[in-house]
């Protein structure tokens, strides 16, 4: 982290960048927030640890409009989102100085809480430099431990890899955190009966409070005005009035980002109700991979997106009923 | 009118492209090839005009089945429209199936302007399928139910 | 003071549900929220904070107001019925109970919100002391006693028992209805529990947060502060904080057309949303900074200005836990405290 | 709120026998916005239209719904009637209660209910209709033909004969194309040059035709009726105005080692050259790669010998910018590269040649002056094997999946000509199928077999093995006799698959004309619009659209010309107003719509916007309504709903859905 701060100071000092986009330490052990730093002295608050899960690429839409370059810290998975935003002309590559930061898997405070750990005062082991694979957690109810892997965000268990897709320089090493296949959960659901599937999604979506956190955090949902906020489709139903509306919202949202979603996992990370929203996006990704050839959004900035492409031999929609 | 008749009468929306399928439906009509009156056709310029929002909207408002018809792949009046439509609908239908909506409620069929018979047969078989599935209870806004 | 063994709670809930609707924390797909009790419901009174507050029971996220029906050329209007059924909300924590007080001042002052008023009339609150408060709690800052919530009935969980004390007429009535399952008890265990809770509260990191400078008179000083420009930057403009908040009371009124009928309903709205109070000419607040500022100014300045200094934050800490980007009211208060507005 | 009139047609008994029209009228009155409803025997009749006109005027209608036959039948009729009565024609919607209702349902109650629902949907839609005005765009009365082969020449002559200016852009130093390389043509055995040369002369002499040879299209912008094209005239190093075409420079040029493109590299040419004797223009070019002067700075022989002083070593490429109303693509074909077909020993033996090379060998102006001889040793061959479908009808990625269409016939031609001129030479043809659908084609092929004794073997050749003695061992199979064949040959001729000129991809991109997976340009409709590209104003001539022989090419060239003339004859184009429009405040500028537009109608501009007080410059999609055909692909690709289609807007379609489901 010190290396990052030093580099940020250098870049600010030599005028390469006008600001740094990173994370600012919070007032609890686990709540750093995305923040801009314009002066070297502000960087005392800069932090980069296991709780810096936020994908900063979407902030670059606004930062691209600012005077001068912005040094932005992007984790390997974030760089896919950034590429996708370049492809869609939503960010200006020339306005970004991308420091690809290492990642050893990001932590999910909800997972720690789910283990019954509460009253957290201090967490040790979340720094990038920490070698231990266990978090030591000091709470008002006594000292606890939690395996690092058990506290990791779901997305880190299915990590896309340690490579940054786009960067100006790299700082820090990454760990291999992948220990599951990202399509396993989808595949499991696919084998269920319609009744079971329906019950599963009905239960999950019944929790949705239409807070729009999933949409607003999503780097692919970069619309200036979402269809669900506009009158264009007569679809601006703001709150959950009927269970259908959540289905409509989440299906359409997933559809709109189909072929554009990099599977960055932010939607699931931010959902206050813990809805596994990635299951929607990954279903589309899995279908696209199976039907139209493997495609990773954000891996490059030139390939044709699956939904703006076709082949004469594409599968017919009737394949839906025919697959296993 | 026998409004007391409470037996299931499905609502079925058919999106037909102007150049092939709508004309195919016209040909079915002029050939007097019958299919159930439950089917109501909406004319669109091309199958690529059909937004997944329209399909979900139909279900929201109480449709029991939605079918989309377009030119055969390769024969699109606009060259490529139905290719895009095909991918879009495949993914959408797959998603609906995934969340537990019976996949028989949605269908895509390519019907040319010369295929009046196919149009009629398609509609007959689709309606039959919807009758077998019964009322759509998994999608649909409760406020639209009476 | 009465008590009931925890293992008999399901019998208690069943008994309440015989005569009243019962809402209580229920776990669904891994998350605990207030929901109607049923035999299959996975009741969860151990989780300290439900994701959403208990606000829904009195001010549902969405509720119908009236329906306009059209038959031929004839148009009729059918207002939505007011709540007539008695109901019980079981397990509300002190902060949520205090939240109701905040809502009351809005909805029960003239013009009275009849939908809300009817629910308040028919609702009995069984409040529960916080057995194990957490680091995100700061209720004490707003004068809330987590160990001793004042409501219709207050309950404490001690060991394997739940202690029960009625405080109001409604509470007495409910107690009467379930008396068969309760046994008399003395206060000793509860007093000890209160003391334990108070001790824990003392040690929580946010409990000594200072609200100095935040009051109804601080309007222009706070409003014009440049600090807001720093604070809002990472705000996503989602409505998470608003929707989990026990005191946020803004709603939008919308119409839903279902063919020959149009239902007018209201639903929670969030001042963080870009289309909040959208009018023909656009939005009053054009930037996210303004929207972000609005929410906290409302909680800490505007509301106290209109309600004898009462804040419309109760320190439940849900926003602290749920904000996707880790922004929250505590950080706002601290930012002003640290920088003293000198910037 | 609209003031809507509903007109229910009986269509004699076609509708009225099954649909209770008076009930439909009664129900129409219940719908929001409806201020008038009536029924009539035949709405499309004069009297019916008069009723419509009267209602429009008396009730001040702002929109109308006709419940009648299919809009494909009478939408235009009713729109015109509305327009005459002062109502914008796009405020008319049709509820199809005949083809989609009365004709297919028997039960009157059921049919009436459905008719009412279809009517409601149309009313719901028309409530959201907005008056639309077709746009106008000017037509530049000049055509561009890309490619100067027989297709381009024929198209240019036909357009020019109709009185319009035409420019031909030809990449090589002369027009003439592939046909100029052919010796004879099937099925008449005409001399190719004899029938082509007059056409070339006609084109060059035509006062309306201007030919840019040794030139390429560099850039295309604009749209139907109004294209702007940059043409790069490559430096010829010879002044076209001064050169007399005497040919002395070519004779004296000391550098004679450049492979002759015209003779398919079978012999060489000088560095300053005209590709062939009848070249038009008869002005040489200097091949700067081969020229000693350009390579070493010394030489300059041509300049010294040129009496006209036409040699100009300093000449530079020149860009000419012209405006056109129509563009015809006639870029033709080439034979495929055979490097993936090692088994035929093409690269190992000089005596394995392609059919196009054989054309040059048999031509009097060719490398052997028309004598049939082996290119390796100049000996006369006694045994020649032709192999069909080399790279055509291929299922793997070495070749092409399609039939090259011309090979069966030219092989029959070659076989026949050889047997005719050299009766002692044995000719064997290995084929998969012989395809001869064309006037006098099968007769021609049968003559080759029956009259000229060409040995046709149904079967494929597995391998051609060059022997130490210079012979070629051909291993093939005879499927009819089910046996393996080993044959010694002196020459092997490969009927090599043809493919679109490799330049076509670049040109198609510039024109935003779509191409298929084989790089053939796509026609607007496979059956009904075979010579038009889906991109308005772009027409297709010749093999660039698909394999064809000379008569087909000429026919298509004429057809393309007619289509271009039809466009050029107009002063202005009325554009379909049902086009896509982008909402400036909702557009993200993400380019998704651009990627699905088959017409290249969407571009992006940086625009200053005022989004409810927020002023900024944004990248915004702009639809060129002259190009947009209104398919709607972009509207669904657009996630924010910024892109919408006039006449079939999101809200209109949703209103129809709602009305049907209510």
Whether domain D4-126 has CATH 1.10.8: the reply is no
Q: Is the pLDDT confidence value at C163 over 80?
A: yes
Return the percentage of chain D with pLDDT > 90, whole number. 91
Measured in whole angstroms, the distance separating CA A99 from the mean position of its chain's CA atoms is 17
Q: Is the pLDDT confidence value at B3 over 50?
A: no
Alpha-helical segments (H) within D286-406: 292-296, 301-305, 355-362
Q: pLDDT at position D525, please? A: 77
Q: pLDDT at position C317, please? A: 96
Measure the CA–CA gap between B107 and B122, rounded to whole angstroms: 10
Decide if C236 is inside a domain: yes
Question: pLDDT band at A236, cuts 50/70/90?
Answer: low
Please indicate, yes or no, whether the overall pTM of this predicted structure exceeds 0.90: no
Sheet (strand D318-324) strand order: D215-223, D226-233, D318-324
Measure the CA–CA gap between C332 and C210, rounded to whole angstroms: 12
Residue C113, CB-side half-sphere exposure with 13 Å CA sphere:
19
Measure the CA–CA gap between B23 and D71, rounded to whole angstroms: 10
Q: Which of residues 432-451 of D touch B (CB under 8 A)?
A: none
H or E stretch at D491: strand D491-496
B79 touches chain A (CB under 8 A): no
B61 touches chain C (CB under 8 A): yes
Q: Is the pLDDT confidence value at D248 over 50?
A: yes
Residues of B in contact with D635 (CB under 8 A): 49, 51
- Is residue C108 located within the same domain as residue C185? yes
Structural tokens at position D137: 């765009």
Reported as a single tens digit per residue, the pLDDT across C293-303 is 999 999 999 99
Interface touch C286/D30, C-beta < 8 Å: no
* Residue among C257, C281, C286 minimizing CB distance to D614: C286
Q: Which of residues 76-135 of B touch D (CB under 8 A)?
A: 77-81, 84, 88, 120
A227 touches chain B (CB under 8 A): yes
Q: Is the pLDDT confidence value at C338 over 80?
A: no
Residues of A in contact with D517 (CB under 8 A): 311-312
Lowest mean pLDDT of B22-26, C277-281, D379-383, name the range.
C277-281
Decide if C78 is inside a domain: no
Average per-residue pLDDT for chain D: 95
Residues of A in contact with B139 (CB under 8 A): 244, 247
Q: pLDDT at position C341, please? A: 41
Strands D268-269 and D258-259, how do they pair? Answer: antiparallel
- The average pLDDT across A63-77 equals 96
Q: Is the pLDDT confidence value at A246 over 90?
A: no
A75 touches chain B (CB under 8 A): no
Domain positions in chain D: 4-126, 142-234+317-332+501-568, 248-305, 336-499, 576-646
Domain count, chain B: 1
Question: pLDDT band at A162, cuts 50/70/90?
Answer: very high
A10 touches chain B (CB under 8 A): no
Question: pLDDT band at D76, cuts 50/70/90?
Answer: very high
Q: D112 by DSSP, 3-state: which? A: helix
- The average pLDDT across A218-230 equals 92
Angle subtended at Cα A224 by Cα A219 and Cα A228, rounded to the nearest 5 degrees: 90
Angle subtended at Cα D118 by Cα D635 and Cα B111, rounded to the nearest 5 degrees: 60
Longest dimension (CA), chain C: 70
| Preferred mutation among B82, B88, B91, B136 to probe A, highest tally of A CBs within 10 A | B91
Q: Is the pLDDT confidence value at D189 over 60?
A: yes
Q: pLDDT at position C343, please? A: 35
Decide if B5 is inside a domain: no
Q: Is the pLDDT confidence value at C342 over 50?
A: no
Longest dimension (CA), chain D: 99
Structural tokens at position A145: 């431990």
Q: What is the DSSP letter of A107?
A: B
- The average pLDDT across B4-29 equals 89
- The average pLDDT across A112-126 equals 94
Question: pLDDT band at B117, cuts 50/70/90?
Answer: very high
Q: pLDDT at position B1, please? A: 36
**Residues contacting residue A249 through CB under 8 Å, at least 6 positions apart:** A208, A210, A228
Q: How many CB pairs under 8 A join A and C?
A: 136
Nearest residue of C to residue A218, measured between CA atoms? C236
The alpha carbons of chain D give a radius of gyration, in whole angstroms, of 32
* Residue among A198, A244, A283 minimizing CB distance to B60: A244
**Which chains have 3 or more CB–CB distances shorter than 8 Å to chain D?**
A, B, C
B95 touches chain A (CB under 8 A): yes
C-beta separation of D181 from D262 below 8 A = yes
CATH code at position B48:
3.40.50.960
Question: pLDDT band at D627, cuts 50/70/90?
Answer: confident
Q: Which of residues 492-521 of D touch B (CB under 8 A)?
A: 514
Residue A94, CB-side half-sphere exposure with 13 Å CA sphere:
2
Interface touch B49/D98, C-beta < 8 Å: no
Reported as a single tens digit per residue, the pLDDT across D15-29 is 999 999 999 999 999
Reported as a single tens digit per residue, the pLDDT across D492-525 is 999 999 999 999 989 988 887 877 779 999 888 7
Q: Is the pLDDT confidence value at A67 over 70?
A: yes
Phi, psi (rounded to 5 degrees) for D142? -150, 140
- The average pLDDT across B64-85 equals 91
Q: What is the DSSP letter of A29?
A: T
- The average pLDDT across D280-291 equals 96
The alpha carbons of chain A give a radius of gyration, in whole angstroms, of 21
Decide if B21 is inside a domain: yes
- Is residue C150 located within the same domain as residue C45? yes
Reported as a single tens digit per residue, the pLDDT across C67-105 is 999 888 899 999 999 999 999 999 999 999 999 999 999
Question: pLDDT band at C38, cuts 50/70/90?
Answer: very high
- Is residue C118 located within the same domain as residue C89? yes
List the beta bridge partners of residue D222.
D227
C-beta separation of C294 from C287 below 8 A = no
Interface touch D637/A88, C-beta < 8 Å: no
Q: Which of residues 240-259 of C touch B (CB under 8 A)?
A: 256, 258-259
- CATH superfamily, region D336-499: FAD/NAD(P)-binding domain (3.50.50.60)
Which CATH number is associated with domain D576-646? 3.30.70.3270
Residues of B in contact with A244 (CB under 8 A): 59-60, 139-142
Q: Is the pLDDT confidence value at A241 over 70?
A: no
The C-alpha of C180 sits at a distance from chain A's nearest C-alpha, in angstroms, of 34
Domain count, chain C: 2
DSSP letter for each residue of D198-224: HHHHHHHH-TTEEEE-SEEEEEEEEET
The owner of tokens 């607007």 is: D524
Structural tokens at position A27: 């007032």
C-alpha separations of D442 from D68, D191, D387, D450, D494 in Å: 52, 20, 19, 12, 21
Question: pLDDT band at D166, cuts 50/70/90?
Answer: very high
Phi, psi (rounded to 5 degrees) for D535? -80, 120
Structural tokens at position D460: 């494929």
C-beta separation of C318 from C245 below 8 A = yes
Residues of B in contact with C259 (CB under 8 A): 61, 144
Q: Count the neighbouring beta carbons within 10 Å of the beta carbon of residue D339.
A: 9
- The average pLDDT across D71-83 equals 95
Q: Which domain holds residue C282?
A: 219-252+268-339
The C-alpha of B39 sits at a distance from chain A's nearest C-alpha, in angstroms, of 20
Q: Is the pLDDT confidence value at D105 over 50?
A: yes
Measure the CA–CA gap between C206 and A62, rounded to whole angstroms: 33
Task: Return the CATH fold of D142-234+317-332+501-568.
Answer: FAD/NAD(P)-binding domain (3.50.50)
H or E stretch at C67: strand C62-71
C-beta separation of D167 from D606 below 8 A = no
Q: pLDDT at position B2, please? A: 38
**Residues contacting residue D659 through CB under 8 Å, at least 6 positions apart:** D117, D120, D121, D123, D124, D125
Reported as a single tens digit per residue, the pLDDT across D342-384 is 999 999 999 999 999 999 999 999 999 999 999 999 999 999 9
Q: Which domain holds residue B42?
A: 12-139
Interface touch A308/D588, C-beta < 8 Å: no
- The average pLDDT across C261-275 equals 92
Q: pLDDT at position C339, please? A: 67
């Amino acid at each position: 982290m010190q290396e990052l701060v030093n580099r940020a100071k250098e870049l600010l000092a030599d005028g390469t960048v006008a600001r740094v986009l990173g994370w600012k330490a919070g007032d609890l052990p686990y709540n750093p927030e995305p923040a801009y730093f314009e002066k070297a002295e502000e960087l005392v608050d800069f932090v980069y640890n296991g709780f810096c899960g936020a994908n900063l690429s979407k902030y670059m839409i606004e930062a691209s409009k600012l005077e001068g370059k912005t040094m932005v810290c992007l984790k390997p998975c974030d760089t896919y989102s950034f590429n996708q935003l370049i492809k869609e002309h939503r960010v200006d590559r020339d306005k970004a100085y991308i420091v690809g930061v290492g990642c050893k898997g990001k932590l999910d405070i909800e997972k720690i809480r789910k283990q019954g750990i509460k009253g957290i005062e201090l967490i040790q082991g979340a720094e990038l430099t920490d070698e231990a694979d266990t978090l030591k957690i000091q709470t008002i109810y006594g000292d606890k431990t939690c395996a690092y892997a058990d506290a990791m965000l779901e997305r880190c268990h299915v990590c896309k890899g340690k490579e940054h897709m786009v960067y100006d320089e790299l700082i820090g090493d990454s760990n291999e955190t992948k220990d599951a296949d990202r399509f396993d959960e989808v595949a499991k659901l696919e084998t269920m009966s319609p009744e079971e599937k329906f019950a599963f999604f009905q239960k999950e979506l019944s929790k949705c409070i239409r807070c729009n956190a999933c949409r607003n955090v999503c780097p692919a949902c970069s619309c200036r005005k979402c269809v669900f906020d506009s009158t264009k489709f007569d679809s601006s139903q703001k709150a959950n009035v009927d269970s259908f509306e959540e289905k409509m919202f989440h299906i359409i949202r997933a559809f709109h980002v189909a072929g554009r979603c990099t599977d960055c996992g932010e939607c699931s990370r931010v959902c206050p109700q813990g809805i596994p929203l990635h299951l929607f996006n990954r279903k589309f990704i899995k279908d696209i991979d199976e039907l139209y050839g493997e495609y990773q959004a954000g891996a490059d900035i030139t390939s044709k997106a699956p939904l703006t492409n076709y082949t004469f031999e594409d599968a017919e929609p009737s394949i839906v009923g025919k697959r296993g | 009118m026998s409004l007391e008749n409470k037996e299931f009468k499905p609502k079925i929306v058919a999106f037909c492209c102007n150049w092939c399928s709508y004309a195919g439906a016209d040909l079915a009509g002029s050939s007097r090839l019958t299919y159930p009156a439950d089917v109501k056709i909406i004319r669109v310029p091309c199958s690529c005009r059909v937004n997944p929002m329209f399909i979900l909207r139909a279900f929201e408002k109480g449709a029991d089945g939605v079918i989309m018809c377009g030119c055969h792949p390769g024969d699109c009046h606009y060259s490529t429209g139905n290719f895009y439509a095909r991918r879009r609908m495949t993914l959408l239908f797959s998603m609906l199936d995934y969340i537990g909506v019976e996949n028989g409620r949605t269908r895509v069929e390519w019907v040319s302007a010369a295929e009046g018979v196919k149009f009629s047969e398609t509609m007959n078989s689709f309606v039959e399928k919807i009758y077998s599935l019964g009322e759509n209870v998994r999608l649909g806004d409760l406020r639209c139910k009476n | 003071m009465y008590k009931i063994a925890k293992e008999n709670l399901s019998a208690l809930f069943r008994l309440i549900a015989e005569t009243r609707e019962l809402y209580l924390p229920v776990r669904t797909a891994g998350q605990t929220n207030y929901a109607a009790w049923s035999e299959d419901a996975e009741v969860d009174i151990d989780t300290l904070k439900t994701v959403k507050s208990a606000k829904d029971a009195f001010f549902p996220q969405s509720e119908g107001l009236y329906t306009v029906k059209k038959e031929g050329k004839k148009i009729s209007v059918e207002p939505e019925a007011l709540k007539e059924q008695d109901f019980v909300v079981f397990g509300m924590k002190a902060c949520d109970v205090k939240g109701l007080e905040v809502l009351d001042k809005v909805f029960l002052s003239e013009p009275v919100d009849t939908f809300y008023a009817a629910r308040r009339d028919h609702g009995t609150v069984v409040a529960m002391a916080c057995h194990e408060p957490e680091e995100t709690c700061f209720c004490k800052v707003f004068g809330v006693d987590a160990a001793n919530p004042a409501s219709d009935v207050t309950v404490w969980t001690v060991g394997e028992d739940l202690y029960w004390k009625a405080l109001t007429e409604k509470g007495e009535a409910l107690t009467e209805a379930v008396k068969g399952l309760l046994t008399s008890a003395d206060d000793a265990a509860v007093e000890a529990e209160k003391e334990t809770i108070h001790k824990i509260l003392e040690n929580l990191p946010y409990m000594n947060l200072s609200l100095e400078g935040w009051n109804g008179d601080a309007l222009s000083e706070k409003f014009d502060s440049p600090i807001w420009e720093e604070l809002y930057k990472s705000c996503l403009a989602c409505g998470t904080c608003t929707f989990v908040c026990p005191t946020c009371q803004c709603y939008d009124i919308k119409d839903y057309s279902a063919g020959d009928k149009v239902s007018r309903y209201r639903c929670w709205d969030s001042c963080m949303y870009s289309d909040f109070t959208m009018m023909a000419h656009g939005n009053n607040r054009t930037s996210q900074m303004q929207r972000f500022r609005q929410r906290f100014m409302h909680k800490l300045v505007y509301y106290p200005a209109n309600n004898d200094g009462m804040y419309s934050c109760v320190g439940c800490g849900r926003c602290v836990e749920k904000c996707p980007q880790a922004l929250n009211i505590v950080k706002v208060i601290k930012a002003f405290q640290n920088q003293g507005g000198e910037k | 709120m609209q003031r809507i009139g509903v007109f229910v047609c009986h269509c004699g008994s076609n509708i009225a026998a099954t649909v209770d029209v008076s009930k439909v009228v009664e129900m129409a009155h219940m719908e929001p916005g409806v201020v008038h409803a009536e029924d009539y025997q035949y709405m499309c009749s004069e009297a019916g239209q008069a009723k419509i006109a009267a209602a429009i005027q008396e009730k001040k209608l702002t929109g109308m719904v006709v419940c009648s036959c299919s809009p494909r039948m009478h939408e235009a009729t009713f729109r015109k009637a509305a327009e005459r009565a002062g109502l914008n024609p796009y405020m008319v919607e049709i509820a199809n209660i005949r083809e989609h209702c009365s004709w297919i349902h028997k039960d009157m109650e059921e049919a009436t209910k459905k008719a009412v629902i279809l009517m409601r949907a149309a009313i719901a839609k028309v409530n959201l209709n907005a008056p639309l005005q077709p746009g106008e765009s000017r037509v530049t009365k000049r055509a561009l033909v890309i490619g100067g082969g027989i297709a381009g020449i024929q198209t240019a002559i036909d357009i020019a004969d109709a009185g319009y200016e035409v420019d031909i852009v030809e990449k090589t130093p002369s027009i003439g194309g592939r046909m100029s390389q052919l010796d004879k043509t099937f099925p008449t055995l005409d001399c190719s040059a004899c029938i082509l040369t007059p056409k070339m002369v006609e084109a060059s002499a035509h006062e309306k035709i201007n030919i840019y040879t040794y030139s390429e299209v560099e850039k295309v912008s604009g749209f139907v009726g109004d294209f702007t094209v940059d043409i790069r005239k490559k430096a010829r190093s010879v002044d076209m105005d001064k050169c007399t075409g005497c040919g002395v420079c070519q004779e004296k040029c000391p550098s004679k080692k450049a492979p002759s493109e015209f003779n398919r590299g079978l012999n060489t040419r000088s560095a300053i050259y005209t590709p062939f004797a009848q070249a038009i223009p008869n002005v040489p070019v200097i091949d700067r790669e081969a020229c000693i002067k350009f390579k070493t700075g010394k030489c300059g022989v041509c300049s010294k010998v040129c009496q006209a002083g036409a040699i100009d070593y300093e000449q530079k490429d020149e860009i000419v910018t012209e405006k056109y109303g129509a563009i015809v693509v006639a870029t033709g074909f080439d034979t495929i590269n055979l490097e993936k077909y090692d088994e035929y020993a093409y690269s190992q033996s000089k005596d394995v040649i392609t059919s196009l090379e054989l054309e040059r060998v048999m031509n009097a102006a060719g490398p052997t002056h028309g004598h049939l001889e082996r290119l390796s040793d100049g000996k006369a061959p006694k045994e020649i094997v032709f192999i069909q479908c080399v790279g055509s009808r291929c299922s793997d990625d070495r070749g092409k999946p399609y039939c090259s269409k011309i090979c069966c016939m030219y092989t029959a031609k070659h076989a026949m000509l050889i047997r005719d001129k050299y009766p002692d030479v044995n000719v064997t043809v290995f084929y998969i199928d012989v395809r001869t659908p064309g006037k006098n084609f099968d007769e021609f092929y049968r003559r080759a077999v029956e009259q000229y004794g060409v040995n046709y073997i149904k079967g494929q050749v597995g391998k051609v093995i060059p022997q130490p003695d210079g012979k070629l061992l051909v291993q093939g199979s005879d499927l009819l006799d089910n046996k393996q064949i080993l044959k010694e040959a002196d020459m092997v001729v490969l009927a090599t698959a043809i493919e679109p000129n490799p330049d076509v991809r670049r040109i198609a991109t510039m024109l935003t004309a779509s191409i298929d997976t084989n790089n053939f340009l796509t026609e607007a409709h496979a059956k009904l619009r075979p010579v038009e590209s889906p991109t308005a104003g772009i027409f297709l001539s010749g093999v660039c659209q698909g394999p064809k022989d000379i008569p087909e090419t000429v026919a298509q060239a004429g057809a393309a010309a007619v289509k271009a003339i039809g466009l050029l004859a107009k002063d202005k184009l009325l554009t379909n107003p049902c086009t896509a429009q982008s909402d400036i405040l909702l557009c993200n500028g993400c380019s998704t719509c651009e990627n699905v537009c088959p017409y290249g109608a969407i571009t992006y501009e940086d625009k200053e916007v005022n989004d409810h007080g927020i002023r900024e410059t944004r990248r915004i999609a702009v639809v060129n309504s002259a190009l947009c055909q209104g398919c709607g692909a972009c509207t669904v690709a657009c996630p924010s709903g910024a892109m919408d289609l006039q006449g079939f807007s999101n809200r209109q379609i949703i209103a129809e859905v709602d009305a049907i489901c209510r």
